Structures are given as C-alpha cells and as structure tokens.
C-alpha cells in the first residue's frame, strides 16, 4: 500500500477522500478549508514565525522557568525508585489523596479520593473525556463562553454535539446574564465554564456563577468547569463553582498541575465530581490513554501539599509580570484590558492600526520581534468580527523577557509614554 503523507499542504488529495470524525473536529476548530485541506493552528503558525524570525514568543502559554525544585526532584526520585510502569487506572492513590486534601484545604470541598476523582493526561484529556462521556447525539448542546480555549470547540465537534456560545465582551469580559439564560435550554447537556478565563483574563463574579448553577438545575444540565488557573487569580481568591449551593451534585471540576507548578509538559490533570459522573468519565478516559505519567504523579502530590506561601507567591509573581507586560503594551500604544487572572493579557491593537488583529499578529514578528495571538483564534467563524482588534499576549515569561518584549514593541511602534513626556 502506498504510504500516505499528511504533511500540511501536500495532503489535499488524501485528506479530501478520508471520511471520519476528524473532519468535524477540524471544522469545529475552524481549521478545515473548503477544499478539504487542514490548516495548522495559529499557535503552530506563530511559534514557527517566532523560530524563523527570532521573535520573543508571547503566543503560547508556557512558562520559561522551572517550577518548584522539590516537585522536580520528586519526579527524578520517582524515576530512580522505579515508578516507570503503568500506575493504577484512576491515578496513584497518594495523588488522589493529595487532590482531595487540596480541595478541602483551599475550598472546603469534600472529595472521596477513591470514588470521586481521577487523574488524566492534563486538563485537556479530562475535558475531552467528559464531553465524549456526557454527549449523546447531534441534538445535544454544549454552552461555552466565547472567546474559548481552542480545544473546547474541537472536542464538542468530535463528540458530535452543537456548540452554543455566550459572548464575553470588553472591557471586563463578564457574561451577560440574559444572554446566558437565552443560551441554556432543555437541549443543553453541558455548560462548560472556564474560570479564571483564557484568553480574556476574566474572573467570573459570584452572581454569574450562581446563575450558571440555577440554569443548570432548571434545565438538568451538567456543569463542566475548567479551573486550570485556580491559583492564578489576582484580585480575589478563586471560587470553584462546585462550592456554590446546589452545584456539587452536577459539577465536574477540572484542573491541572501544568499552570500551578510550571510543568505544562508533564500533562498531569484531574477531574473530580459525584461518583456516577466520574465513573462515566473514567469509562471513556480509560480507552483514550488508560493511565498517565507514572513518575510525575507522586511529584504533583508533593506540589499540591506545598505551603500556602508557594501558591500566594505564584499568583503575586504572575500579577507583577502582567504589570510589566501591560506597561510595555500601553507605552507602545495598545489599549490594555487588565486581567484578573490567568496567563494572558488582552490588548486592543486598533489604536496602532491593528483593527484586523490576525493580520496584525502575522506582521508583528517582523515589525517588532514579538509573537502574539489574535483573539479571533478563540472564536467561532461568525463571531470573529466582534473581537477584530484584540490580541492575546502571554505574561508567563521571565521579567527580563517581558521587558525586552516591551522594549521591542516600543521600538516597533514608537514609545507613546516617552513621546507624551517630550510634548508635555
């Protein structure tokens, strides 16, 4: 049989004749062209541009510093001690216990480590497994807040359901309660929440969280909540939606070690919720990956048991990085939307002639030596225009890298703060 090539651009003939769920997945992610070709994601395109031009990559959200030494050391020790074979399907018992302790310590949630939590290949697998487990046909709907983390639309499409979006609009990116109420119906199987929110940096107010719970209850929907930035909320401590009255019995809470311990490459995540929902997710998860990262699991258990100080400092450090990034963006002429949580700052490039943020971001590496992602990468095709001038910058980089990015932007666009200084 002839060897098939799936290289982007060379695969037109083969791709256009291959049936399967990949098509709706690619279409859901906005990557399928009319001629059947599949585009690379904007993240791959922009990372390639960074490598080609030597630009500072503020596109993808991964830290450029190692996480806590004791966590890294625990992984090395686990490998040396022989933790190199399949761990138990639900996860290492000590990590399950550490997740349960963490939820109790920070949020007062009671989680049975044996029945109500499983370890997954990052939050991404937890999300996809939950959607595949809970969705039962093309009439099912999943309500998401738009813009949304890119895997949501792809996974909803793979599961064969319909995506219903609730817009988050600048300046504060909080959902409108009426739009939310109109989106949730008896067809809603899942309300998918992400709080703190990527890409906008919004932290949902308690009232909107309560409204989500009320609507889920009224329409018998499951809440799936992605809380990977739980320890990176700047203005107030994070409120897991599962802590609201009436929520825990219908909520799957997802998180991950990647953001909290700067170990995004380890892909250790988890999901907890009522035992019947966890059984449903585990049923799917065990045939996706079966188990994950044996030596990383004890290391993440060490991380979850670190002193409160570690978690407070992680949030304070990132908030400082956002300040440096935001000051640089403002000085270059962007209008900055100050984030309340998470890795990203959103800025409006319209004052710099960047009303088409996608074109603006494609030109940015050459123009200023910086890579960023247009918000249109996180929206459905028919809502792109609503976010046209907005650009997402990752703040999870060393301060000196952010300062260098700020200097490059100032050079590329002219430093507005010093110009103001000169004319004043």
Ligand X SMILES: Cc1ncc(COP(=O)(O)O)c(C=O)c1O
233 binds ligand X (CB under 6 A): no
CB of 353 to ligand X, least distance (A): 29
228 binds ligand X (CB under 6 A): yes
* The one among 128, 188, 194, 239 contacting ligand X by CB under 6 A: 194
Cα end-to-end span (Å), the chain: 73
CB-based contact 342:197 (threshold 8 Å): yes
CB of 255 to ligand X, least distance (A): 8
Nearer to ligand X, 193 or 409 (CB): 193
- Contact segment (CB under 6 A) with ligand X among 68-76, 119-127, 169-177, 215-223 equals 119-127
CB-based contact 196:229 (threshold 8 Å): yes
258 binds ligand X (CB under 6 A): yes
What distance in Å separates the CA atoms of residue 12 and residue 17, rounded to the nearest whole number?
9
* The one among 128, 188, 256, 350 contacting ligand X by CB under 6 A: 256
Q: Which tokens go with 263?
A: 């170990």
What distance in Å separates the CA atoms of residue 199 and residue 100, rounded to the nearest whole number?
28
Nearer to ligand X, 125 or 415 (CB): 125
Burial of 122 (0-12, 13-18, 19+ CB in 10 A): buried
β 56-57/370-371 pair status: parallel
CB of 229 to ligand X, least distance (A): 7
Where in 54-83 is the site for ligand X (CB under 6 A)?
A: 61
Q: Which tokens go with 241?
A: 């939606």
* The one among 57, 103, 124, 225 contacting ligand X by CB under 6 A: 124
Q: Which of 86, 84, 192 is nearest to 148 (CA)?
A: 192
CB of 129 to ligand X, least distance (A): 12
339 binds ligand X (CB under 6 A): no
Where in 263-302 is the site for ligand X (CB under 6 A)?
A: 264, 267, 269
- Contact segment (CB under 6 A) with ligand X among 116-124, 166-174, 211-219, 368-376 equals 116-124
147 binds ligand X (CB under 6 A): no
What distance in Å separates the CA atoms of residue 227 and residue 193, rounded to the nearest whole number?
8
Residue 407 CB neighbour total at 10 angstroms: 16
Nearer to ligand X, 261 or 413 (CB): 261
Length of the chain: 424
Write out the residues near ligand X by the rule CB under 6 A. 61, 122-124, 149, 194, 198, 226, 228, 256, 258, 264, 267, 269
């Amino acid at each position: 049989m002839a060897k098939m090539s799936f290289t982007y651009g060379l695969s037109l003939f083969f791709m256009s004749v291959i049936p399967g769920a990949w098509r709706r997945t690619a279409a859901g992610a906005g990557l399928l062209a009319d001629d059947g070709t599949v585009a690379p994601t904007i993240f791959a395109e922009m990372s390639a541009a960074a490598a080609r031009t030597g630009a500072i990559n503020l596109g993808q959200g991964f830290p450029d510093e190692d996480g806590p030494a004791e966590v890294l050391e625990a992984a090395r020790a686990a490998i040396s001690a022989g933790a190199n074979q399949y761990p138990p399907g639900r996860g290492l018992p000590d990590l399950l216990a550490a997740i349960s302790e963490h939820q109790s310590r920070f949020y007062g949630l009671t989680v049975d480590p044996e029945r109500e939590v499983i370890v997954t290949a990052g939050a991404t697998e937890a999300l996809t497994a939950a959607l595949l487990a809970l969705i039962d046909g093309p009439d099912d709907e999943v309500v998401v807040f738009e813009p949304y983390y890119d895997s949501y639309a792809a996974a909803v499409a793979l599961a064969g359901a319909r995506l219903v979006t609730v817009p988050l609009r600048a300046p504060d990116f909080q959902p409108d309660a009426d739009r939310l109420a109109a989106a949730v119906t008896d067809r809603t199987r899942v309300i998918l929440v992400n709080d703190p929110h990527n890409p906008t940096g919004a932290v949902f107010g308690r009232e909107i969280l309560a409204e989500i719970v009320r609507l889920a209850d009224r329409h018998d929907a499951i809440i799936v909540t992605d809380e990977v930035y739980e320890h990176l909320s700047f203005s107030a401590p994070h409120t897991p939606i599962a802590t609201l009255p009436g929520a825990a019995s219908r909520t799957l809470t997802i998180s991950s070690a990647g953001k909290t311990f700067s170990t995004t490459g380890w892909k250790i995540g988890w999901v907890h919720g009522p035992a019947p929902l966890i059984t449903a997710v585990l049923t799917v998860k065990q045939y996706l990956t079966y188990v994950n990262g044996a030596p990383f699991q004890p290391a993440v258990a060490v991380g979850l048991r670190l002193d409160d100080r570690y978690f407070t400092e992680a949030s304070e450090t990132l908030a400082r990085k956002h300040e440096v990034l935001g000051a640089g963006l403002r000085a270059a002429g962007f209008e900055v939307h100050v984030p309340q949580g998470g890795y990203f700052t959103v800025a409006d490039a319209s004052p710099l002639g960047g009303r088409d943020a996608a074109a603006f971001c494609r030109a940015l590496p050459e123009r200023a030596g910086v890579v960023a992602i247009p918000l249109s990468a996180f929206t459905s095709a028919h809502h792109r225009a609503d976010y046209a001038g907005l650009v997402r910058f990752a703040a999870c980089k060393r301060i000196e890298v952010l300062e260098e990015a700020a200097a490059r932007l100032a050079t590329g666009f002219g430093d507005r703060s010093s110009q103001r200084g000169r004319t004043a």
